[in-house]
Amino acid sequence: MDKKTLDRLIEKIDIDGPLIEGMGECCFEWKGCVDDKGRPRFFYNGTGGLARRAFYEAIIESALPDGVQVMAICRNPKCMNPAHLFAATEHDAHALAGYSNLSPNGIVNLRKVMGETGISAEELAVTFRLSEPLMLRVVAG
């Protein structure tokens, strides 16, 4: 993504978004257009796509493979805060969508359980049927 396009994308991000309980930083909310599911959309290179993916790829300076989605750990569909974003396989994305206990408050509780019991991220990953790298990202924050 060229600098002009990245600047245009960044102009649509409000860094003074809401603070979600359990998250250390506020959300950076998307001010541009969204799709019918409320997900940020961004048009560049003659086509439209998901703004989170475009932003994440610009940050990591690499294209994500097909089948990988960019999600926000805060569960705010408009959040663009790089500290809240992570890449997940379709399997992980679907698994996360089904677990309300992986909400921000649930994640705080998972971290507490890990600290008090010594259960590992690997064991939690098996329990929640998520990949270990994703569970590590979830509990690390």
Domain with 130, as residue range(s), is: 3-140
Which tens digits make up the pLDDT trace of 46-96? 888 899 999 999 988 888 888 888 988 777 889 999 888 888 887 777 666
Which tens digits make up the pLDDT trace of 103-128? 666 676 677 777 777 778 777 777 66
Interacting residues of 46 by C-beta distance below 8 A, sequence separation 6+? none
CA–CA gap between residue 66 and residue 90 (Å, rounded): 10
> What's the pLDDT score for residue 7?
93
> What's the pLDDT score for residue 106?
67
Structure confidence at residue 32 as a pLDDT band (50, 70, 90): very high
Domain count, the chain: 1
> What's the pLDDT score for residue 104?
63
